[in-house]
């Protein structure tokens, strides 16, 4: 499968921001116009966008539904979106608004028994986000920690029929410290479904390290702060992913 470099667009108070390790109080604002930011990344070569409603994740309901819908309607590439999706209606409304894939996090962890029914209903358009720190899954906007290991949750959601998992090592998110390669290998290596890595990717060398794992189900990497800070580019990272970079 093609390895995609996926720019992140995190929404807080109607603006495009980046957090350090998911802390709401440690936010850097990069744009007051999320749609323009989305169009910028598409112009830079992005073939998919990752949109997270941070306020929704913290509040437990989709706060930025209209903003997400505007982005979906305003760019020619598929977007995957999540944050605060707790009900079937939340999922359906985002899909109806043009979102290609919706991301469940907290709900998937809290209701594994109901996850299979959701997969049967929404199929490959349902993605599960596994957010973890120190080998423990986090929920509710990364504010609550469980006793579940990410690789264990990965096996459970894959058994429920989930097609794609996004694994985020939250301690690396926004820190520009490189991805948690060993943990990514442990999570993705035990799954047959597609896995997208997130957290810490900041250079072409980071992408090389991910590609060196040679995991056939590693489908991409979500990149945020490194792009916003101009440390690298979508095209440079994608070229390395496709074996064309220096």
| Catalytic residue status for 147 | no
Domain-located, residue 208: yes
| Catalytic residue status for 131 | yes
Cα gap 7→122, rounded to integer Å: 24
Domain-located, residue 32: yes
- Only one residue has tokens 């794609």, namely 164
**pLDDT tens sequence across 225-243:** 999 999 999 999 999 999 8
CATH number at residue 220: 3.20.20.70
Domain-located, residue 10: yes
Domain-located, residue 246: no
Domain-located, residue 112: yes
Domains in the chain, number: 1
Q: Answer for the pair 221, 169: CB distance below 8 angstroms, yes or no.
A: no
> Out of 55, 131, 173, 206, which one is annotated catalytic?
131
Domain-located, residue 41: yes
**pLDDT tens sequence across 162-220:** 999 999 988 876 667 889 999 999 999 999 999 999 988 999 999 999 999 999 999 99
Q: Which domain, by its residues, includes 17?
A: 4-241
* pLDDT at residue 144, rounded to an integer: 85
> Out of 10, 53, 55, 206, which one is annotated catalytic?
10
């Amino acid at each position: 499968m093609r390895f995609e470099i996926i720019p992140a667009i995190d929404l807080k108070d109607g603006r495009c921001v980046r957090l350090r390790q998911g802390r709401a109080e440690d936010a850097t604002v990069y744009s007051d116009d999320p749609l323009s930011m989305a169009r910028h990344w598409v112009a830079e070569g992005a073939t998919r966008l990752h949109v997270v409603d941070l306020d929704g994740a913290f509040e437990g309901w989709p706060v930025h539904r209209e903003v997400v819908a505007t982005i979906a309607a305003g760019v020619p590439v598929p977007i995957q979106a999540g944050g605060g999706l707790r009900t079937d209606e939340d999922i359906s409304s985002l899909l109806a608004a043009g979102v290609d894939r919706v991301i469940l996090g907290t709900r998937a962890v809290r209701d594994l028994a109901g996850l299979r029914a959701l997969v049967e209903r929404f199929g490959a358009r349902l993605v599960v986000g596994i957010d973890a720190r120190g080998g423990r899954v986090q929920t509710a906007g990364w504010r609550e920690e469980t006793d579940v290991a990410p690789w264990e949750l990965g096996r459970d959601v894959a058994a429920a029929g989930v097609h794609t998992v996004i694994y985020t090592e939250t301690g690396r998110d926004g820190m520009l410290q490189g991805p948690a390669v060993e943990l990514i290998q442990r999570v993705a290596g035990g799954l047959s479904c597609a896995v997208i890595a997130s957290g810490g990717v900041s250079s072409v060398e980071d992408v090389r390290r991910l590609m060196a794992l040679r995991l056939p189900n590693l489908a991409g990497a979500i990149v945020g702060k490194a792009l916003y800070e101009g440390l690298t580019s979508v095209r440079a990272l994608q070229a390395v992913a496709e074996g064309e970079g220096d």
